[in-house]
Amino acid sequence: MTVVADRDHATEPARAGLTPVQWHRVGWTAVLAAVAVGIALPWMISGYQLSQVAGAFYLALGVLSMNLVTGLNGQISLGQSAFVGIGAYSVAILVTDHGWSYPAAMVAGAVLSAGAGVVVALPALRLRGLYVALTTFGIGLVFPSLIQKFSDATGGTAGKTIFPLYVPPDFLGLTTTEWGYFVTLVVLLVCLLFVQLLKSSNAGRMIQAIRDADLVAEGFGVPLARIKVATFAASAAIAGLAGGVFAIQRQFVSPGDLGLDTSINFFVGMAIGGSVSVPGAVVGGLFLQFAPQLTRHLGIAPIYTPAIYGALLIVIIRFARGGAAGLVRSLIAPLTRR
Amino acid sequence: MELFSQRLVDGLSSGCIYAALALAIVLVFRATGTLNLAQGEMAMFSCFFIWKLTDLGWPLVLAIVAGVVVAFVAGAAIERVIIRPVEDSHDHLPVIIVTLGLLLALDSLAGGLFTVDIETLGSPFPSGAWHLGTVRVPYSSIGLFAVIAALSGLIWFVFQKTRFGLAMRASVDNPESARLLGIRRSRILMVGWGAAAALGALAAALVAPQTYVYTGMLQGVLLYAFTAATLGGFDSPAGAVLGGLLVGVLQAMVSGYVHFIGNDLSLMTALVVIIVVLMLKPTGLFGRPDSRRL
């Protein structure tokens, strides 16, 4: 979707009086400051507000999974909601009915999501073109009916309450809301770091080369199918972890939150934040969490929120492919021009 | 045997609906080279429009005709205003994402502008059935067969026997050369999207008596239609019709005879068919293999 510029910082000239290495430091300082704010947040805002931010971080994980598979690899996945669902229901079922610990159930959920993703998308991933969009559209649509079919284990349409509660260790002295927030924060930071490191690694360049010119990439010896399947599996695993933190935050899962529209919302979040930007995923998550409240304050009926999302998606693709990250970049560009 | 024949008839009649929507998908694919994920939502929106007209007192058949005409114009307008600016024959992602935006927007607007309730729309065909031995063939099914047969014939005629169809095929096969020969690709794209929207509107109006009219009325139907198009081959109108009928029959048989699947998991059947086709014969029954020049 975007042209990958030369990422080799050493060859870039100084911008706005700062060398690339110094820009790099500015970037990392900003990241560390953001992390510090993230850690201090429970002591800065109310419990309700904290649960809202935790919700935004869950959405950011979903958006990040979309960034990886669509933004970087150029595959359209509409099945992220189903992978989130597999992660969430794994935690719900393994913890409630089988006595697993929460972390173990979350990891199991991520593995199951990745496995399901590979099984369903493998035939499409071998092919070029739109087939991934097609099969994942199917997964997203079918998932809620699977939950209803196996209602003995899943609780069906009514949903399933997770028991026992995920309580923090005593010595930390945290409330369950704060604990849920910190678990989400840690999972989010680990996944952000993973995608950021992957993006700038050798494998990451192959992933993006497939998006930009698959035939050329293949000519240069990039194993197309293997990279596509691995990327898809990693994305599904991140979505599965998102489902795990979702289950921990709510202590309740139901198919109503896991339909095709959830996948499309992640898509909107990705477009808002910038499809190839890792910090953009957090921007996208915050947008998805707080935009509905904003439109309600503006007096727009909630039923029109998806219409606004849809219009935004169309406008962003038309005028601002880079999303928020791209806007920031193009705002900085004139300042840094010598 | 009666049960089998009855399921065959029922399957064929829902297959007609899938065939009509699959034809719409194939038309867009042939014109633009992409999937229109909002095809179902566009049809649903048109169906709400038709329902609104009947609600205002229009006779049903007139309302359907008006709805189909309006859908044609709206489909062409959507192509011109929303799709064209992001159209790129080398990169299909932008168009697909825009159709996703369209899906969200239409879904929400239909609920907001019309209603979030479940409404009913009558059938344009007489009620009652023709009894063939013990098998009941509803008049509505016969009407559906007739409509789909006529539509398929019309589309075949336009594609194969008219200059416009020739231009359309040429423009898909080789856009650059076609344009050099004076074929206006832009007009072909608009007509392709308009025709697809019109087909979708008709399919939605015909399926509405069974599904009722609500914002999610075509979600499942769209997946069956995608399955039909995959099975028949995305660039083959004949394949779409045959695929639609096959998928309809398969769905009726699997739901009828495999108790575990029943009606709850019939969407799953569609997904499995897509996956199996992609594994065994990705071009579908009548599609041509995808080849690209470097």
CB-based contact B103 A271, cutoff 8 Å: no
**Best-predicted range by mean pLDDT (B18-32, B45-59, B252-266):** B45-59
Answer yes or no: CATH 1.10.3470 is held by domain B2-127+136-280. yes
| The pLDDT of residue A1 | 46
Domain segments of chain B as ranges: 2-127+136-280
Average pLDDT over residues A282-298: 92
Amino acid at B64: I
| The pLDDT of residue B294 | 53
Average pLDDT over residues B170-189: 83
Mean of per-residue pLDDT scores for chain A: 87
Average pLDDT over residues A248-272: 91
With 60 as the cut, is the pLDDT of residue B244 above it? yes
- Interface check for A300 against chain B (CB to CB < 8 A): the answer is no
Please tell me the least confidently modeled range out of A180-189, A267-276, A282-291, B262-271. B262-271
Q: How many Cα atoms occupy the beta-carbon half-sphere of B240 within 13 Å? A: 31
CB nearest to B279's CB, from A123, A148, A267 = A123
Q: Which of residues 224-283 of A touch B (CB under 8 A)?
A: 260-261, 264, 267-268, 271
Closest residue of chain A to B218, computed from CA coordinates: A141
| The pLDDT of residue A91 | 96
A295: number of Cβ within 10 Å? 16
| The pLDDT of residue B177 | 84
| The pLDDT of residue A14 | 62
Q: Is A164 left (phi over 0), alpha (psi -120 to 50) or beta?
A: beta
| The pLDDT of residue A13 | 60
In A, which residues are within 8 Å of B97 by CB distance?
76, 267, 271, 313, 317
Average pLDDT over residues A262-266: 93
With 70 as the cut, is the pLDDT of residue B89 above it? no
| The pLDDT of residue A2 | 47
With 50 as the cut, is the pLDDT of residue A252 above it? yes
Closest residue of chain A to B94, computed from CA coordinates: A317
CB-based contact A318 B100, cutoff 8 Å: no
Contact B16, B145 (CB under 8 A): yes
Q: Which of residues 191-210 of A touch B (CB under 8 A)?
A: none
**CB–CB contacts below 8 A, A to B:** 131
**Which domain CATH number covers A157?**
1.10.3470
Percentage of chain B with pLDDT > 90?
Answer: 43
Contact A254, A159 (CB under 8 A): yes
With 90 as the cut, is the pLDDT of residue A60 above it? yes
User: What are the tokens at B191?
Assistant: 């007509």
CA B259 to chain centroid, in Å, comes to 29
- Kindly give the pairing relationship between strand A160-161 and strand A252-253: antiparallel
- Interface check for A138 against chain B (CB to CB < 8 A): the answer is yes
Domain span holding position A171: 9-336
Instruction: Compare A331 and A317 and report the one with higher pLDDT.
Output: A317
In Å, how far is B77's CA from the nearest CA of chain A?
A: 15
Instruction: Return phi, psi of residue A230, to 5°.
Output: -65, -40
Output the CA–CA distances (angstroms, integers) from residue B26 to A303, B39, B273, in the order listed: 32, 11, 18
In A, which residues are within 8 Å of B107 by CB distance?
261, 306
| Residue A323 belongs to some domain of the structure | yes
In Å, how far is B106's CA from the nearest CA of chain A?
A: 7
Please tell me the least confidently modeled range out of A61-75, B127-141, B187-201. B127-141
Residue B137 banded pLDDT, cuts 50, 70, 90? confident
In B, which residues are within 8 Å of A123 by CB distance?
275, 278-279, 282
CB-based contact A146 B109, cutoff 8 Å: no
For chain B, which residues lie within 8 Å of any Cβ of chain A, measuring from their own Cβ?
34-35, 37, 82, 85-86, 91-94, 96-98, 100-109, 111-112, 116, 219-220, 223, 226, 230, 264-265, 267-268, 270-271, 274-275, 278-279, 282, 290, 292, 294
- Taking the C-alpha atoms of residue B31 and residue B193, their distance in angstroms, rounded to an integer, is 8
Instruction: Compare A234 and B257 and report the one with higher pLDDT.
Output: A234
pTM (two decimals): 0.90
| Residue A3 belongs to some domain of the structure | no
CB-based contact A303 B116, cutoff 8 Å: yes
With 90 as the cut, is the pLDDT of residue B155 above it? no
Q: Cα angle at B154 between B149 and B156, to 5 degrees?
A: 95
Percentage of chain B with pLDDT > 70?
Answer: 98
ipTM score: 0.89
CB-based contact B271 A314, cutoff 8 Å: no
Instruction: Return phi, psi of residue B181, to 5°.
Output: -85, 5
Contact B100, B80 (CB under 8 A): no
| Residue A4 belongs to some domain of the structure | no
With 80 as the cut, is the pLDDT of residue A167 above it? yes
Which of these, A56, A83, A71, A75, lies nearest to A130 by C-alpha position? A75
| The pLDDT of residue A332 | 64
List, in order, residues 6 or more apart from A333 with CB less than 8 Å away: none
Instruction: Compare B244 and A173 and report the one with higher pLDDT.
Output: B244
CB nearest to B112's CB, from A124, A304, A321 = A304
Q: Give CA torsion, residues A171, A175, A180, A182, to 10 deg.
A: -60
Closest residue of chain B to A219, computed from CA coordinates: B294
Average pLDDT over residues B54-76: 95
Domain count along chain A: 1
| The pLDDT of residue A50 | 93
In Å, how far is B210's CA from the nearest CA of chain A?
A: 20
Residue B237: asked if its preceding bond is cis (omega within 30°), the reply is no
In B, which residues are within 8 Å of A323 by CB distance?
none
Torsional sign, CA B43, B44, B46, B51? positive
Please tell me the least confidently modeled range out of A57-71, A94-108, A254-268. A254-268
Q: Which of B93, B106, B247, B283 to mutate to probe the A interface, most A CBs <10 Å?
A: B93
Give the DSSP letter string of A154-211.
H-GGG-EE--S--PPPGGG---HHHHHHHHHHHHHHHHHHHHHHHHTSHHHHHHHHHH
The H or E element spanning position B129 is: strand B129-132
- Taking the C-alpha atoms of residue A264 and residue A260, their distance in angstroms, rounded to an integer, is 6
| The pLDDT of residue A309 | 92
| The pLDDT of residue A216 | 87
Q: Give CA torsion, residues B190, B191, B195, B197, to 10 deg.
A: 10
CB-based contact B267 A142, cutoff 8 Å: yes
Torsional sign, CA B192, B197, B200, B202? negative
Please tell me the least confidently modeled range out of A17-26, A112-121, B69-78, B110-119. A17-26
Average pLDDT over residues B263-274: 87
Residue A129 banded pLDDT, cuts 50, 70, 90? low
Mean of per-residue pLDDT scores for chain B: 88
With 60 as the cut, is the pLDDT of residue A73 above it? yes
Please tell me the least confidently modeled range out of A256-260, B38-42, B65-69, B173-177. B173-177
Distance between first and last Cα of chain B: 55
